Structure 1
Amino acid sequence: MATTNNLVNPQVPKLLKDNYESWSIQMRALFGSQELWELIIDGFTEPTPEVEATYTAEEKKALREQRKKDSKARFLLYQGLDESTFERVAEATTSKEAWEILATIYKGVERVKRIRLQTLRGDLEAAQMKDEEQISDYYSRLLLIVNKIRRNGEKMEDIRVMEKLLRSLTSKFEHVVAAIEESKNLEEILIEELLGSLQVHEQRMQEKASSIVLEQEEALLKDRIYAEAMLLGSRAGRGGAGRAGLTGGGGKLCSHNGYTSPKADHETTLQGADKGKHEGVADAENVAASRGPAVATSGKDAR
């Protein structure tokens, strides 16, 4: 804001081709802050010189004050216009007249307004929440359409907005919507309260989904570690059996009379294989124990 002679000049929003609705809201707030909005709406009648000559000193003072306020209102209005738009209101003698000219140009006549409202109603009816959309984002998108409808002169109660919100949510909200409709009278609650209930439910669903995903990831990790451990154990078991065959087969081991019997060969081979099997399981248990308690337990079960 700029300051001149100790008076603060407010920053005036600029009127563009496609922002009349939001611009007019900001200007109404600006005029209200300067105690000028009633003058814009009601206007004042400029008396003829003959009539003004009959005024008392008090009436002339009030007239000067009205003229001053109207000039201030027109000045603020002009500040938000570009050159071409200014030319359309340059001939207006009061701020009320200038405001009404702009409303006719940008907001359109009643026929155009009706067409615009039909389009907006269609947009509202077709609006549906997307699968990955947050409640707050969908409500903001819905509210944008509702506000446009209201700005074009159609009255829309909050209960209509709440009913539309509830019937256009995704299927994952079905049971909570049913619970709200059974337990609450929409005419007695605020839309913020409804929105809060839906957001709490949404947060709980997100937390539950995150917990399930985490459990699945942990289970996959344990399965992979266990599979690796069993593979190592299997390899170690085959190695033990091979070593037993070299030492126990063919009746080549020396005894007190120089040779072992075939039966002794067979028993020695079985003992070597069994030893290799136990060595393999032990290797699997060692690997599993080094990677986590859960896998070590699985190794014992396998044995």
Structure 2
Amino acid sequence: MGDQPNNQVGESSNQVGFPKEPSSLSIQFSILTSTNYTIWTVKITAIFKVQGLLEAIEPRTGTVVDSKINGLAIVYLYQGMPEALVMQVAHLSTAKEIWDALKTRFVGVDRVREARIESLQHEFDVLKMKETNTIDDFSTKISQIASKASNLGEPFEEKTLVRKLFKSIPRKRYIAIVATIEQFADKKTMTFHEAVGRLKAFEERSRDEDKLVSGKQEQLIYTYEEWKAKSNNASWERQDGNRIKSKEQGKG
């Protein structure tokens, strides 16, 4: 009975000051690249939360991070970085310093970052779907711009992407599906992928119908040409027959 308070204190201090015991789950570290910084930080942050290391990169004001936590956090960060990048930050002594250095490197200083965001916003605003494009082509362009903006810490909202998609497609070509969606679906809650899926389904169905109509037209044209050819042959046969009859009558 007398030992219970000490155990409780030990557990409490373990939760606050020391990382949790490593789980048996094998942790897969994504490698940081020039294009995946935002999602990489999300994954690393999640791992640090589970392992009790989050304070190493997000320390509370006025607190000193335990050296063991700091050391493990650095090891984990190294696991998610290419070797060339590890060598560039190896001189830094805390996980927080490494974390901030990576942020500066990949997000850029505020002025450069803001200029890049403005450029992407302009590219997004003027983007239009060409008549020769498919929904796949155009949605990929939107996704690429959105991904770049997200890597800069300024992701587009789903409703913004959906609105851009419907606003920029050729209205005449997709008027039937757009009218149906506007009548029966809520574009404010629709996800970008759902909108793309609906438009692609309509596009594929329309393409199949166009092929069917085109095939029937070709068949009609072929039938007409065939009939015309047969008519010409019959006409020639009649003319030949008349000439033969005329010759025979002349002989008689």
- Shift in Å, 1:161: 1.3
C-alpha distance in structure 2 between counterparts of 1:228 and 1:243, whole Å: 22
- From the superposition, tell whether residues 110 and 197 of structure 1 become closer, same or farther in structure 2 (CA, over 3 Å): same
C-alpha distance in structure 2 between counterparts of 1:69 and 1:13, whole Å: 17
C-alpha distance in structure 2 between counterparts of 1:156 and 1:150, whole Å: 7
Contact 1:13 1:27 in 2 (8 A): no
- Shift in Å, 1:97: 0.7
Pairing of 1:177-216 with structure 2 (within 5 A): 177-216=178-217
Cross-structure match for 2:36? 22
- From the superposition, tell whether residues 92 and 143 of structure 1 become closer, same or farther in structure 2 (CA, over 3 Å): same
* Identity score, percent: 20
Contiguous gaps of at least 5 residues in structure 1 = 1-5, 48-62, 254-303
Cross-structure match for 1:166? 166
Matched, 1:42 2:58: yes
1:202-255, CA deviations, whole angstroms, 9 ceiling, x for partnerless residues? 223112211111011101211221122122212211221121112112xx53xx
- From the superposition, tell whether residues 13 and 192 of structure 1 become closer, same or farther in structure 2 (CA, over 3 Å): closer
Cross-structure match for 1:103? 103
TM-score by length of 1: 0.63
- Shift in Å, 1:10: 4.8
C-alpha distance in structure 2 between counterparts of 1:233 and 1:208, whole Å: 37
C-alpha distance in structure 2 between counterparts of 1:231 and 1:7, whole Å: 83
1:21-52, CA deviations, whole angstroms, 9 ceiling, x for partnerless residues? 414523642563464672453158657xxxxx
Cross-structure match for 2:249? 248
Cross-structure match for 1:76? 79
- Shift in Å, 1:173: 1.3
- From the superposition, tell whether residues 94 and 117 of structure 1 become closer, same or farther in structure 2 (CA, over 3 Å): same
- From the superposition, tell whether residues 40 and 178 of structure 1 become closer, same or farther in structure 2 (CA, over 3 Å): farther
- From the superposition, tell whether residues 97 and 199 of structure 1 become closer, same or farther in structure 2 (CA, over 3 Å): same
- Shift in Å, 1:123: 0.9
C-alpha distance in structure 2 between counterparts of 1:110 and 1:71, whole Å: 26
- Shift in Å, 1:167: 0.6
Please tell me whether Structure 1 or Structure 2 has the larger radius of gyration of its CA atoms.
1
C-alpha distance in structure 1 between counterparts of 2:25 and 2:201, whole Å: 49
- Shift in Å, 1:182: 4.2
> How many residue pairs get matched?
224
C-alpha distance in structure 1 between counterparts of 2:27 and 2:174, whole Å: 50
- From the superposition, tell whether residues 74 and 198 of structure 1 become closer, same or farther in structure 2 (CA, over 3 Å): closer
Cross-structure match for 2:224? 223
Q: Which is worse superposed, 35-44 or 144-153? A: 35-44
1:254-294, CA deviations, whole angstroms, 9 ceiling, x for partnerless residues? xxxxxxxxxxxxxxxxxxxxxxxxxxxxxxxxxxxxxxxxx
TM-score by length of 2: 0.74
- Shift in Å, 1:109: 1.0
Structure of higher RCO (CA pairs closer than 8 Å, 6+ residues apart) = 2
3-state SS of 1:187 partner = coil
C-alpha distance in structure 2 between counterparts of 1:32 and 1:72, whole Å: 16
C-alpha distance in structure 2 between counterparts of 1:115 and 1:188, whole Å: 30
3-state SS of 1:186 partner = coil
Paired residue type of 1:231: N
C-alpha distance in structure 2 between counterparts of 1:193 and 1:12, whole Å: 27
